C-alpha cells in the first residue's frame, strides 16, 4: 500500500480531473460508495471461483460479527447502491463514474499493489450496441486526452447464458486432453471455471491453450449480432480496436462484450483498463432486470505510463522576500491579499537572511520575487525580480496588487 506524495500527486490529480471533464461530456455523474461492503456482495457478483474471491479479499468480522470486505473493485458496490437507492425509478438510464481505492491481497510488484486505485464508469439500462461503442470510445478518448499513447484496445465477446455453456463444454473437453501441460491452479480450475485457464499468466498454460476453441466460434445469433454491431459502430466513429478471442476477464459477471486497454510498456502488468457488459448482474443482486456495461482503469498504471510526461507541481507566481520586521509585516498583508484573489504567493515566515529567502524562492521556482527593504518600504517602493529574464526593477508599491494580478510588469 503506497503513500502518494507531493510531486507524484499532481499526476494523479491531472488523471482525475481529466476523467471528470471527459466523462462529464458523455453525460456521466459521479457516484461515491463506501470502501467496505458485506462480503456476500462480492462473492455473489465477482464469483466464488475467481482469484479475487478465492484469495485476494481483505475480509474481517466487525464487532457485531458481520462479515465485511474492503472492496476489491467498484462495479458490485455501485450496483448495490443503484439497487438500494432505486435509481432506475429516477432515470431509466444511469451513467455513473467513480474513483477511489480498491484492495486486493496480491503479490506486490511494479504496477500491482494491495491498495490500488481505480477510475471507473458504468452505464445501466441500455442494451443497444451503441452504448458499448460509446463507452469504448469514451475510454479511448480518455487515453488520448491524458497523453497515453502506447495502448491498444482489445475486444472480445464472452457470449451469454444461452451460448456460454456449449463453449464451456468445448473448452473443458479441450483442456481435459491437455491437462499434463497445465499448472496446478489450472488443473484444479479447469472444471470449476475453465475460462480462467485462458487468462493464466503461466507460460506453459499459454502455450498449451494456444489452439483452444475460440469463444467467438460459439456465439449464439443474438450475441454474434451484438458483437458485429459494436464493431460496426466503432468503425463508424473511428475508434481503433483489435479482436482478442482469448481475453476472458477475471470476474464472472461479464457477458457479451468484454475489453481491455493493453500496453507493452508495463511488463506483465499489461492491462491498464478493463471492463465489459454484465447483463445479468443487477437482477442477480436482487434488482430489476437491467443490463449494464462498464470499465475500470488502474490509476497506478496510468501514472506509471504517464512517466516522462508527468505533471509538475505548481510554481509560485510570486515570492516576497523581506529585510526587517516592518517589511515582513507589510509583505504578509500583501501576500494574503494576493492569495485571496487567486495568486499563488509565498514568503519566508520566520525572518531568515535575505540570502536564505532567495534560495527558497529559487527552490520553489517562483516566477517573480518582490524584495522589500525597510528604507524602500518607507519610500513606497520595492524591487521586482523576474526570474525568467533575470531582470530587476524598482517599482512603486502603490497599485502593485492589481499589477501583479494582471501578470504585468509595470511600465518603468
Do β-strands 292-298 and 271-277 pair in parallel, antiparallel, or remain unpaired? antiparallel
73 binds ligand ATP (CB under 6 A): yes
The 3-state DSSP class for residue 3 equals: coil
Minimum CB–partner distance for residue 108 and ligand ATP (Å): 8
φ and ψ of 222, to 5 deg: -60, -45
Q: Which stretch binds ligand ATP (CB under 6 A): 1-9, 90-98, 156-164, 264-272?
A: 264-272
- Please say whether the beta carbons of 308 and 147 come within 8 A: no
Of the residues 272, 369, 382, 395, which one makes contact with ligand ATP according to CB under 6 A = 272
Site for ligand ATP in 115-134 (CB under 6 A): 116, 118
**Angle value at C-alpha 80, between 61 and 200, nearest 5 degrees:** 75
Do β-strands 94-103 and 29-30 pair in parallel, antiparallel, or remain unpaired? parallel
Report the residue closest to ligand ATP, judged by CB: 298
Q: Which is nearer to ligand ATP, 273 or 323 (CB)?
A: 273
Return d(Cα 106, Cα 111) in angstroms, integer. Answer: 11
Do β-strands 255-263 and 368-372 pair in parallel, antiparallel, or remain unpaired? unpaired
Q: Which is nearer to ligand ATP, 99 or 219 (CB)?
A: 99
Q: Which is nearer to ligand ATP, 279 or 300 (CB)?
A: 300
300 binds ligand ATP (CB under 6 A): yes
The 3-state DSSP class for residue 362 equals: helix
Nearest to 10 by CA among 342, 312, 401: 312
296 binds ligand ATP (CB under 6 A): yes
Of the residues 8, 10, 16, 106, which one makes contact with ligand ATP according to CB under 6 A = 106
- Please say whether the beta carbons of 384 and 372 come within 8 A: no
Count of residues interacting with ligand ATP (CB under 6 A): 18
Q: Which stretch binds ligand ATP (CB under 6 A): 155-163, 214-222, 292-300, 389-397?
A: 292-300
Of the residues 138, 158, 195, 273, which one makes contact with ligand ATP according to CB under 6 A = 273
The 3-state DSSP class for residue 214 equals: coil
Site for ligand ATP in 211-250 (CB under 6 A): 250
98 binds ligand ATP (CB under 6 A): no
187 binds ligand ATP (CB under 6 A): no
The 3-state DSSP class for residue 122 equals: strand
Return d(Cα 343, Cα 313) in angstroms, integer. Answer: 15
Q: Which chain residues interact with ligand ATP by CB under 6 A? A: 73, 104, 106, 111-113, 116, 118, 250, 269, 271-274, 296, 298, 300-301
Amino acid at each position: 500500500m503506497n503513500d502518494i506524495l507531493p510531486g507524484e500527486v499532481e499526476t494523479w490529480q491531472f488523471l482525475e480531473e481529466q476523467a471528470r471533464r471527459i466523462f462529464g461530456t458523455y453525460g456521466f455523474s459521479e457516484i461515491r460508495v463506501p470502501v467496505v461492503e458485506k462480503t456476500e456482495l462480492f462473492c455473489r457478483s465477482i464469483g466464488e471461483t475467481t482469484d479475487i474471491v478465492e484469495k485476494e479479499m481483505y475480509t474481517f468480522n466487525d464487532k457485531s460479527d458481520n462479515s465485511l470486505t474492503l472492496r476489491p473493485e467498484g462495479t458490485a458496490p455501485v450496483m448495490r447502491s443503484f439497487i438500494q437507492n432505486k435509481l432506475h425509478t429516477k432515470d431509466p438510464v444511469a451513467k455513473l463514474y467513480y474513483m477511489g481505492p480498491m484492495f486486493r491481497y496480491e503479490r506486490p510488484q511494479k504496477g500491482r499493489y494491495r491498495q490500488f486505485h481505480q477510475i471507473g464508469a458504468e452505464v445501466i439500462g441500455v442494451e443497444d450496441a451503441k452504448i458499448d461503442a460509446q463507452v469504448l470510445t469514451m475510454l479511448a478518448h480518455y487515453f488520448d486526452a491524458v497523453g497515453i499513447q502506447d495502448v491498444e484496445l482489445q475486444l472480445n465477446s464472452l457470449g451469454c447464458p444461452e451460448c456460454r455453456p456449449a463453449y464451456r463444454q468445448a473448452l473443458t473437453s479441450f483442456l481435459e486432453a491437455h491437462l499434463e501441460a497445465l499448472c496446478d491452479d489450472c488443473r484444479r480450475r479447469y472444471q470449476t471455471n475453465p475460462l480462467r485457464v485462458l487468462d493464466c499468466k503461466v507460460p506453459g498454460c499459454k502455450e498449451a491453450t494456444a489452439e483452444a476453441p475460440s469463444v467467438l466460434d460459439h456465439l449464439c445469433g443474438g450475441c454474434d449480432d451484438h458483437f458485429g454491431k459494436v464493431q460496426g459502430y466503432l468503425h463508424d466513429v473511428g475508434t481503433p480496436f483489435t479482436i482478442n478471442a482469448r481475453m476472458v476477464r477475471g470476474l464472472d459477471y461479464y457477458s457479451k462484450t468484454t475489453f481491455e486497454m493493453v500496453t507493452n510498456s508495463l511488463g506483465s502488468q499489461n492491462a491498464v483498463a478493463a471492463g465489459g457488459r454484465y447483463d445479468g448482474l443487477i437482477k442477480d443482486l436482487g434488482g430489476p432486470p437491467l443490463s449494464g456495461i462498464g470499465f475500470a482503469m488502474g490509476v497506478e498504471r496510468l501514472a506509471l505510463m504517464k512517466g516522462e510526461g508527468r505533471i509538475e507541481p505548481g510554481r509560485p507566481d510570486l515570492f516576497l522576500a523581506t529585510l526587517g520586521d516592518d517589511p515582513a509585516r507589510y509583505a504578509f498583508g500583501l501576500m494574503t491579499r494576493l492569495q485571496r484573489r487567486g495568486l499563488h504567493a509565498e514568503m519566508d515566515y520566520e525572518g531568515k537572511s535575505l540570502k536564505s529567502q532567495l534560495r527558497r524562492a529559487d527552490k520553489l521556482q517562483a516566477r517573480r520575487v518582490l524584495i522589500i527593504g525597510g528604507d524602500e518600504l518607507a519610500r513606497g517602493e520595492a524591487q521586482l525580480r523576474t526570474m525568467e529574464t533575470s531582470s530587476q526593477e524598482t517599482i512603486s508599491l502603490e497599485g502593485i496588487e492589481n499589477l501583479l494580478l494582471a501578470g504585468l510588469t509595470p511600465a518603468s
